[in-house]
């Protein structure tokens, strides 16, 4: 299945995942749709085209690793894992409810999940450690870490950027969900990043900028990153928060809130369309 | 009395383990020559990661290595590790992975560097974390045994608290540490002093003083703080009726608190806690500081005698 799907088929899967995201947060009456919708095209591209992972062998030591450091986008990751066959699609209905394992933030112990995340700023360091472990064991895999652009206000992210360069982790690929919105408002108002590309480049990383909703561009960037040997790659995926649901797009309110009523819920599903 | 460095014992034991097990990795944050992980780093440079003065990166990277199948030993000074409480909570304890924190320069025996570097709250901070084990070795012999235990028998998070200062060697070379078990260093029936770390040697000397006054004190080394040896505490309460605790740590959330919890729940007897009384440390020589904070041998003897006689 992996590598054989067309872009169109991936967009269709992304629509399906978007529907799941909306259904999950509406059913849970809570959760984070905005950042899930912004990163879902990247997640679908990774799980259905790039990642060497298998639901039948989730513990294969040679597998690629993905850490969703912005762990509040759990509906996005859980949807992708369900569509890829790691967890049953029906289980998504348990999101944020007892006794489901589908915790509000990403929970280690769910098949396909590599680490618990949700407290921002820790995933890139975990990625550095995983990449080092692979190198010690001569495993020729890749470690992907998905970061939020509010998240990179955490100083720990920059500590890990230093470490990634120092240890020459060509097998480490960070992907930034650059949607420009965080809980309290717009990222450039809350804490300006100024020239993010130059900032990250000055830490010694290989930087690639792409449209994070264009599957062909995402694919090309990852393929390019995989060619690196000694330098880690930082892909800035330019995205729209809440992508696919007009009233959520670029709206800080939907960072962490579900559709408020049945009408908005149905509108979200109809705007996403059938999958 | 022979004194030996706990952190040197750690560095040496770590290096021996590194020879036997290629999956052991060590991380430090620019303090390896002080924590003694440099001994490992010199021998196994490929498996030693100096993260620089970046403790958050230190902890999250160790979590990644453990998730990647490695056995990670992580060292820095106690006070600096505490900065990363939340990384320890989320990345290590919640994932319940094989990361062993072994900190040095804990307590007031940092000495001259003063209050900023004298961590006396760490046992409390770490004990509250689900999945975390907390150990305070008493001497170099116990330190070596703890490190071997951590490597061979524990695959989940742990916090081991070492010191800058050398401590008297109290255990025989063949001694073996057991998690959740304490050791009666001197038996007695009139009252019990439960201590750990530097305070055990003081407690033994205090017991000698008490003997001169006709008080027969039991002295227990409670190196395993979490899990704690509940049976030994209940037995001491039942058999001796009075307990004094002594620790190089705050009286809040450390040994004294844990012992009081157990007696309070199981067998209430008077418990007097000796330790840092809601205060920061101070610059001075380590051994002078114990007297300064009323934690010396005579202080322990005095409080023990008062406790035995039922005076407050």
Q: pLDDT digits over A107-133, tens only?
A: 999 999 999 999 999 999 999 999 999
Q: Does B179 touch chain A (CB under 8 A)?
A: no
Q: Is the pLDDT of residue B237 over 60?
A: yes
CB-CB under 8 Å, A126 with B57: no
pLDDT of residue A2: 54
Who contacts B53 (Cβ-Cβ below 8 Å, separation ≥6)?
A: B29, B30
Quick check: is B173 in a domain? no
How many domains are there within chain B? 2
Q: Is the pLDDT of residue A26 over 60?
A: yes
For B81-96, what is the mean pLDDT? 98
Count how many residues are written for chain A: 275
Minimal-distance CA residue of chain A relative to B45: A136
CB-CB under 8 Å, B64 with A130: yes
To the nearest whole number, what is the mean pLDDT of chain B? 97
Q: Are residues B118 and B188 in the same domain?
A: no
Selection from B78, B308, B60, B295 nearest residue B199 by Cα = B295
Among the partner residues B46, B52, B70, nearest to A133 by beta-carbon distance: B70
pLDDT digits (tens, 9 = 90+) for A73-95: 999 999 999 999 999 999 999 99
| Structural domain range at position A25 | 7-272
CA distance A63 to chain B (A): 11
- Give chain B positions within 8 Å (CB) of A137: 68-69
| Cβ–Cβ under 8 Å, residues A53 and A43 | no
| Structural domain range at position B269 | 183-309
The strand order across the sheet containing B71-75 reads B48-50, B24-28, B71-75, B99-103, B158-161, B133-135, B224-226
Annotated catalytic residue B12: no
Q: Does B242 touch chain A (CB under 8 A)?
A: no
| Cβ–Cβ under 8 Å, residues B82 and B122 | yes
Q: Grade residue B312 by pLDDT with cuts at 50, 70 and 90.
A: low
Q: Are residues B295 and B230 in the same domain?
A: yes
Quick check: is A1 in a domain? no
CB hemisphere CA count around B174 (13 angstroms): 0
Quick check: is B178 in a domain? no
pLDDT of residue A275: 82
Q: Are residues B36 and B122 in the same domain?
A: yes
| Cβ–Cβ under 8 Å, residues A93 and A148 | no
Selection from B224, B221, B113, B112 nearest residue B167 by Cα = B221
Q: Are residues B239 and B142 in the same domain?
A: no
Quick check: is A219 in a domain? yes
pLDDT digits (tens, 9 = 90+) for B60-70: 999 999 999 99
pLDDT digits (tens, 9 = 90+) for B109-126: 999 999 999 999 999 999
pLDDT digits (tens, 9 = 90+) for B273-296: 999 999 999 999 999 999 999 999
| Cβ–Cβ under 8 Å, residues B88 and B70 | no
Listed residues B136, B168, B200: the one ending a domain: B168
CA separation for the pair A59, B293 (Å, rounded): 53
Quick check: is B177 in a domain? no
User: Residue A16 is inside which H or E element, if any?
Assistant: helix A7-28
Whose tokens are 């090309």? That residue is A220
Who contacts A172 (Cβ-Cβ below 8 Å, separation ≥6)?
A: A127, A128, A131, A142, A143, A145, A164, A232, A233
CATH of the domain at B271: 3.40.50.920
Q: Does B227 touch chain A (CB under 8 A)?
A: no
CB-CB under 8 Å, A136 with B60: no
Quick check: is B269 in a domain? yes
Quick check: is A130 in a domain? yes
SS3 category, A260: coil
- Give chain B positions within 8 Å (CB) of A134: 68
How many domains are there within chain A? 1
Q: Is the pLDDT of residue B21 over 50?
A: yes
SS3 category, B27: strand
Q: Does A153 touch chain B (CB under 8 A)?
A: no
CA distance B289 to chain A (A): 36
DSSP letters for A70-139 = SGGGHHHHHHHHHHTTSS-GGGGGGTTSTT-S--SS--BTBTT--S---STT-HHHHHHHHHHHHHHTT-
φ, ψ of residue A109 to 5 degrees: the values are: 120, -15
Among the partner residues A114, A155, A160, nearest to B67 by beta-carbon distance: A114
CB-CB under 8 Å, B90 with A128: no
Q: Grade residue A3 by pLDDT with cuts at 50, 70 and 90.
A: low
Q: Is the pLDDT of residue A1 over 50?
A: no
Q: Are residues B92 and B197 in the same domain?
A: no
| % of chain B with per-residue pLDDT over 90 | 99
CA separation for the pair B87, A117 (Å, rounded): 10
CB-CB under 8 Å, A119 with B46: no
Q: Are residues B155 and B218 in the same domain?
A: no
CATH of the domain at B140: 3.40.50.970
pLDDT digits (tens, 9 = 90+) for A217-241: 999 999 999 999 999 999 999 999 9
CA separation for the pair A261, A66 (Å, rounded): 34
The strand order across the sheet containing A143-148 reads A65-68, A143-148, A172-178, A233-238, A206-211
CA separation for the pair A9, B89 (Å, rounded): 40
Quick check: is B176 in a domain? no
Q: Does B45 touch chain A (CB under 8 A)?
A: no
CA distance A5 to chain B (A): 30
Q: Grade residue B135 by pLDDT with cuts at 50, 70 and 90.
A: very high
Give helix then strand counts, H and E, for chain B. Answer: 13, 14
pLDDT digits (tens, 9 = 90+) for B24-60: 999 999 999 999 999 999 999 999 999 999 999 999 9
Q: Are residues B14 and B159 in the same domain?
A: yes
pLDDT digits (tens, 9 = 90+) for B181-210: 999 999 999 999 999 999 999 999 999 999
- Give chain A positions within 8 Å (CB) of B47: 136
Q: Are residues B16 and B164 in the same domain?
A: yes
φ, ψ of residue A235 to 5 degrees: the values are: -95, 120
CA separation for the pair B179, B296 (Å, rounded): 28
Q: What is the ipTM of this complex?
A: 0.95
Q: Are residues B10 and B132 in the same domain?
A: yes
CA separation for the pair A89, B201 (Å, rounded): 61
Q: Are residues B161 and B199 in the same domain?
A: no
Q: Are residues B17 and B138 in the same domain?
A: yes
Q: Does A138 touch chain B (CB under 8 A)?
A: no
CATH of the domain at A187: 3.40.50.970
């Amino acid at each position: 299945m992996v590598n054989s799907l067309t872009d169109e088929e991936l967009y269709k899967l992304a629509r399906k995942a978007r529907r799941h995201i909306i259904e999950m947060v509406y059913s849970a009456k809570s959760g984070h749709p905005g950042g899930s919708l912004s990163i879902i095209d990247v997640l679908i591209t990774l799980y259905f085209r790039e990642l060497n992972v298998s639901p039948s062998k989730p513990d294969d030591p040679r597998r690629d690793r993905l850490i969703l450091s912005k762990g509040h986008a759990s509906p996005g990751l859980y949807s992708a894992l369900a569509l890829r066959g790691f967890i049953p699609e029906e289980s998504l209905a348990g999101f944020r409810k007892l006794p489901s394992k589908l915790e509000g933030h990403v929970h280690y112990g769910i098949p396909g999940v590599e680490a618990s995340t949700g407290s921002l700023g820790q995933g890139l360091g975990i990625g550095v450690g995983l990449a080092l472990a692979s190198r010690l064991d001569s495993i020729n895999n890749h470690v992907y870490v998905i970061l939020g652009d509010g998240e990179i206000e955490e100083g720990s992210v920059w500590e890990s950027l230093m470490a990634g360069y120092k240890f020459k982790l060509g097998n480490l690929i960070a992907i930034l969900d650059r949607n420009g919105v965080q809980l309290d408002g717009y990222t450039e108002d809350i804490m300006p990043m100024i020239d993010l590309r130059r900032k990250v480049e000055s830490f010694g990383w290989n930087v690639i900028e792409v449209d994070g909703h264009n599957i062909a561009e995402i694919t090309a960037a990852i393929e390019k990153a995989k060619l690196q040997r000694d330098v880690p790659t930082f892909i800035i995926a330019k995205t729209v928060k809440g992508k696919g649901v007009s009233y959520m797009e670029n709206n800080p309110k939907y960072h962490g809130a579900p559709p408020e009523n049945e009408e908005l819920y149905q509108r979200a599903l109809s705007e996403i369309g059938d999958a | 009395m022979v004194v030996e460095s706990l952190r040197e014992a750690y560095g040496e034991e770590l290096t021996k383990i590194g020879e036997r097990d290629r999956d052991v990795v060590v991380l430090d944050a620019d303090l390896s020559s002080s924590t003694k992980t440099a001994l490992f780093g010199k021998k196994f440079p490929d498996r030693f990661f100096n993260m620089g003065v970046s403790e958050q990166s230190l902890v999250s990277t160790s979590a990644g290595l453990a998730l990647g199948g490695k056995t990670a030993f992580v060292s820095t000074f106690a006070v600096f590790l505490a900065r990363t409480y939340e990384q320890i909570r989320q990345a290590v304890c919640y994932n319940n992975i094989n990361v062993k924190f072994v900190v040095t320069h804990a307590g007031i025996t940092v000495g001259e560097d003063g209050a900023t570097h004298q961590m006396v709250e760490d046992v409390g901070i770490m004990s509250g974390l689900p999945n975390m084990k907390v150990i305070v070795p008493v001497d170099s012999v116990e330190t070596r045994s703890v490190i071997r235990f951590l490597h061979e028998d524990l695959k989940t998070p742990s916090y081991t608290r070492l010191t800058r200062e050398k401590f008297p060697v109290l255990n025989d070379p063949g001694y073996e540490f057991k998690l959740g078990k304490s050791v009666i260093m001197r038996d007695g029936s009139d009252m019990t002093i439960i201590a750990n770390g530097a305070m055990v040697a003081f407690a033994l000397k205090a017991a000698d003083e008490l003997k001169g006054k006709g008080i027969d004190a039991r002295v227990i080394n409670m190196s395993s703080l979490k899990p704690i040896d509940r049976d030994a505490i209940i037995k001491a309460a039942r058999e001796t009726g009075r307990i004094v605790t002594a620790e190089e740590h705050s009286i809040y959330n450390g040994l004294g608190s844990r012992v009081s919890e157990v007696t309070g729940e199981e067998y209430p007897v008077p418990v007097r806690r000796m330790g840092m009384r809601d205060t920061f440390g101070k610059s001075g020589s380590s051994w002078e500081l114990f007297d300064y904070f009323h934690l010396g041998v005579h202080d322990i003897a005095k409080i023990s005698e008062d406790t035995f006689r039922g005076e407050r």
